[in-house]
Chain A
Amino acid sequence: MASLRAYVLTRILLTIPMIFILLTVVFLVMRVLPGNPVIAMVGMKASEEQIRQLMHQLGLDKPLWRQYLDYLSRVLRGDLGNSMIWGRRPVIDEIMDHFPATIELTISGFAVSVLLGIVTGTAAGLRRGTGLDLAMRVYSIVVYALFIPWLGMMLQYVFGVKLGWFPVGGRIGPMMEPEHVTGLYVLDSILTLNWGSLASALRYLTLPSLTLGVVLSGVYTRLVRTSLSEVLEQDFIRAARSRGVSERVVLFRHALKNAFIPILTMMGLQFALLLAGAVLTETTFSWPGMGTFLMERIIYRDFTTVQGTIVFYALFVALVSLVVDLIYAYIDPRIRY
């Protein structure tokens, strides 16, 4: 297992240059954009003196290279700094306020996409060349091409406005917030045995996670279909049948497990897309997560918060892809690090 530790360590070290490059790019892009947090906050009518004073307070009057080095040295010490607008709260606190909402949406969107993908892909893979197969393939292309805000608005219109089954925005009903444990409302409601909150949280979660999940499921449909039909033609499937095991066992124990390996790779790759999709979903459904928050802070040119959020996203994606690699090694005995 020493090699496993070395592998994990290498992967972690490799994220450092990645973060550095990303940070530099975000730093520069934010400065190139017209406007700055002071103007955004006090508006054009503020006096010269007022603006100069605020600029000085935020360190924005220093030369750019100086600001860059200051920021870098602070990040190296693990400090993402403070927000540049009202309240000037620590960036990490702001992120932590919004992160659970995003995680909740991401996990449920992910679950919906994988579940839909496996069901549709398995149906197609088991009945290749039939009408069902064709229908599933059309499904995969159509949903892949959908634009998240468009699908979100359609679902809002049909299930929210017309049928009134689900709310069209927000994260939970008024006064329904469960006691804070993890910040994930569904989980917290279960942990505190608060069934009213659970029902409310799930109702609010349904449309956003469907929107995100459906759009991302198309990739899995195609992948599961191809992978499964390839595996089903392998010799070891025939060998399993020759032992007299049932078709159910052949499908679940042998075929799907083997077909799952390329799907797992795709899950790791799709995770970044999932987070990006979550930003669009959040803005469509006024979901109070990182996406909504990030959009707002970009508009306010809150340099430190935007930089910090992007670094946080990057670290998170790197962590997930590392975890996926470790799961991969766990499932496939041929892979050892």
Chain B
Amino acid sequence: MGGELLRIEDLKVHYFTSGGVVRAVDGVDLEVRRGELVGLVGESGSGKSTLGLAIPRLIPPPGKIVGGRIVFDGLDLTELSEERMRDIRGRRIGMVFQDPMTSLDPLMKVGDQISETILAHEDVSKSEARARAEELLEAVGIPRDRYDDYPHQFSGGMRQRVMIASAIALKPDLLIADEPTTALDVIVQAQILHLFRELQRSMGMSVILITHDMALEMQVADRIAVMYGGWIVEYSPAVAMARDPLNPYTAELLKAIPNIELEDQRLVSIPGSPPDLRAPPPGCRFHPRCRRRFEPCATEEPATVEVDGRLVKCHLYASGGPDSAGGSERGEGERENGRG
């Protein structure tokens, strides 16, 4: 694992809607190392997709980055001109989106949508771009003679492979994948994830994999950031998180993963619903649903603290908490979870 590639500091992304300001990302810190696969999990509306789009500055209006820094390989992306940002998109940061059925231009040959990335950044001939795109098609497992096909002639899994080929065409340092397998069936999901891992290892890319699927993250991610209500509430290595979740919300998420080995198991859900980000609850945003809340939770925003090299945003770990040692009773994590 290499040094730092991306460091997000106190990032705030708000949507200015007629119904009020939606604080989709509200003070997020995240660091991604070179060659690392970081999982970003959370329920719908937790701000994870917004965070993913904010990095290459693709937030659609009425959304806006209102504060913080996104330092990518030493450059603060929030300060770059649109022109320089465009040079980074596709070349140094690639993106794969959720719905492969709608993410390809229906009127453009699939191969041309891969060449497009190359031609946008390199001064090469069309035939050379085509040759490289054909190689990329093969690299993602599609015969090169399908270059001239149109998206409607491809299945969902194949389209997602095309999207991936187009995102990795210029060997970006960072690949952001927003729910890349959600729209696919389970078998194809596994194939695509396998492809991700393979490409990531062979190219030494860093990947941010955004999904609501905790079990999936547990299988592939090196580190996992858990988002809730526009915050990252825990950022830990996947193994440590599975064994011993720090934040009560992480623990609840892990409990919600069905385990095939346990017989007669009921599906567990977290009572309550995610916060309304136009008017988030005061104090900790998770406190209305938290089983372990105590008196500062409803009034004070918890600070992000480091515990054994892991980051957690929870009053339980703040100095002066009920047991600042980190909770002898972190029992929820003892259950064998996730992996396998």
**A334 CB to closest chain B CB, in angstroms?**
5
Is B107's CB under 8 angstroms from A331's CB? yes
| Chain A residues positioned under 8 Å from B90 (CB to CB) | 242-245
B336 contacts partner chain A, Cβ-Cβ < 8 Å: no
Residue-by-residue, is A206-228 near B (CB-CB < 8 Å gives 1, otherwise 0)? 00000000000000000000000
**A182 CB to closest chain B CB, in angstroms?**
33
Is A235's CB under 8 angstroms from B107's CB? no
Given contacts A245-B90, A246-B86, contact A240 B152 (CB under 8 A): no
A332 contacts partner chain B, Cβ-Cβ < 8 Å: yes
Is B89's CB under 8 angstroms from A239's CB? no
Q: With A and B bound together, what is the CA distance between A332 and B152 in angstroms? A: 11
A63 contacts partner chain B, Cβ-Cβ < 8 Å: no
B198 contacts partner chain A, Cβ-Cβ < 8 Å: no
A254 contacts partner chain B, Cβ-Cβ < 8 Å: yes
Residue-by-residue, is A242-260 near B (CB-CB < 8 Å gives 1, otherwise 0)? 1111100100011001100
Q: With A and B bound together, what is the CA distance between A244 and B116 in angstroms? A: 9
Q: With A and B bound together, what is the CA distance between A235 and B49 in angstroms? A: 13
| Chain A residues positioned under 8 Å from B155 (CB to CB) | none
Q: Which of B99, B106, B107, B116 is close to A243, meaning CB atoms less than 8 Å apart?
A: B116
**B151 CB to closest chain A CB, in angstroms?**
9
| Chain A residues positioned under 8 Å from B246 (CB to CB) | none
Q: With A and B bound together, what is the CA distance between A112 and B87 in angstroms? A: 38
Q: Which of A233, A236, A244, A254 is close to B86, meaning CB atoms less than 8 Å apart?
A: A244
Q: Which of A236, A238, A245 is close to B58, meaning CB atoms less than 8 Å apart?
A: A238
Is B152's CB under 8 angstroms from A235's CB? no
A234 contacts partner chain B, Cβ-Cβ < 8 Å: yes
Please provide the chain B residues from 156 to 174 with a CB less than 8 Å away from any CB of chain A in the complex.
163, 166-167
Is A236's CB under 8 angstroms from B102's CB? yes
Is B102's CB under 8 angstroms from A333's CB? no
B104 contacts partner chain A, Cβ-Cβ < 8 Å: yes
Taking CB as reference atom, which chain B residue is nearest A234?
Answer: B102
Is B116's CB under 8 angstroms from A245's CB? yes
B38 contacts partner chain A, Cβ-Cβ < 8 Å: no
Is B105's CB under 8 angstroms from A242's CB? no
Residue-by-residue, is B110-130 near A (CB-CB < 8 Å gives 1, otherwise 0)? 000000110011000000000
Q: With A and B bound together, what is the CA distance between A243 and B51 in angstroms? A: 18
Taking CB as reference atom, which chain A residue is nearest B163?
Answer: A239
Taking CB as reference atom, which chain B residue is nearest A242?
Answer: B95
Interface size class of B (residues with CB under 8 A): 20 to 34
B108 contacts partner chain A, Cβ-Cβ < 8 Å: yes
Is B94's CB under 8 angstroms from A242's CB? yes
Is A236's CB under 8 angstroms from B105's CB? yes
A31 contacts partner chain B, Cβ-Cβ < 8 Å: no
Q: Which of B106, B152, B167 is close to A242, meaning CB atoms less than 8 Å apart?
A: B167
Q: With A and B bound together, what is the CA distance between A249 and B86 in angstroms? A: 12
A66 contacts partner chain B, Cβ-Cβ < 8 Å: no
| Chain A residues positioned under 8 Å from B58 (CB to CB) | 238, 241-242
Please provide the chain B residues from 81 to 107 with a CB less than 8 Å away from any CB of chain A in the complex.
86-91, 94-95, 97-99, 102-107
Q: With A and B bound together, what is the CA distance between A38 and B11 in angstroms? A: 88
Is B107's CB under 8 angstroms from A332's CB? yes
**B153 CB to closest chain A CB, in angstroms?**
8
Is B105's CB under 8 angstroms from A254's CB? yes
**A227 CB to closest chain B CB, in angstroms?**
13
Please provide the chain A residues from 302 to 337 with a CB less than 8 Å away from any CB of chain B in the complex.
331-334
| Chain A residues positioned under 8 Å from B104 (CB to CB) | 236, 239
Given contacts A236-B104, A238-B60, contact A244 B95 (CB under 8 A): no
Given contacts A240-B116, A244-B91, A334-B152, contact A258 B86 (CB under 8 A): no
Per CB-CB distance, the 3 closest pairs between chain A and chain B, nearest first, are A244-B90, A242-B95, A244-B89
Q: Give the B-binding residues of A (Cβ under 8 A).
A: 233-236, 238-246, 249, 253-254, 257-258, 331-334
7 more contacts with CB within 8 A, not counting A244-B87, A334-B106, are A238-B60, A242-B58, A242-B94, A244-B91, A245-B90, A246-B120, A254-B108
A-B contact pairs, 11 of them (CB 8 A): A235-B98, A235-B102, A236-B105, A238-B97, A239-B103, A242-B95, A243-B117, A244-B117, A244-B121, A245-B90, A333-B152
